[in-house]
Amino acid sequence: MRKSPVWLRYPVLAAQLRGFGIVAIICTVTSMAMYAGLRPALGTQWANAISLVLCSFLNTELNRRFSFGVSGRQFWWRDQRRGLWIMILALGITSGSLWLLEVIAPHASIVVELAVIVLGNVLSAVTRFLMLRYWIFRRLRKAGD
């Protein structure tokens, strides 16, 4: 007897992951564009921090709507505050990665910097999804979900 694919056995999780992936692409592109624009004037760490903070609000809002199906304003401020805690994790990973890059290759190009930030964001994405699903939006989960 053949098992059905995991996305058929867990359709809610599959839909959340699909939405999360789309939001991740949108926010990564937006954050990288902001970083590239801010970097010449502010340097790597400030450009990274500002772009992540600003994109954190966008990320939480898009995930509320597209990944977890929340459309109302109830709990909006709480969701955004908790989203900022998740952003602090991503900021730690990306800032640490940029610091390490500056130590190893102090004259790295902006393309290398962007690649390091994207890799840092990928590392934090799994944690971000789990925290969104099991902490911020746990009120939406049903048994067997």
Closest CA to 35 of 102, 96, 106, 116: 116
CA dihedral 37, 40, 46, 52 (to 10 degrees): 20
The one-letter code for the residue type at 131 is M
Q: Looking at residue 128, what is its pLDDT?
A: 86
Sorted by where each begins, the domain ranges of the chain are 6-139
**Averaged pLDDT, groups of 10, the chain, 145 residues long:** 72 89 93 94 94 90 89 86 87 91 93 90 85 81 56
Q: How far apart are CA 33 and CA 30, in angstroms?
A: 5
In this prediction, residue 81 carries a pLDDT of 87
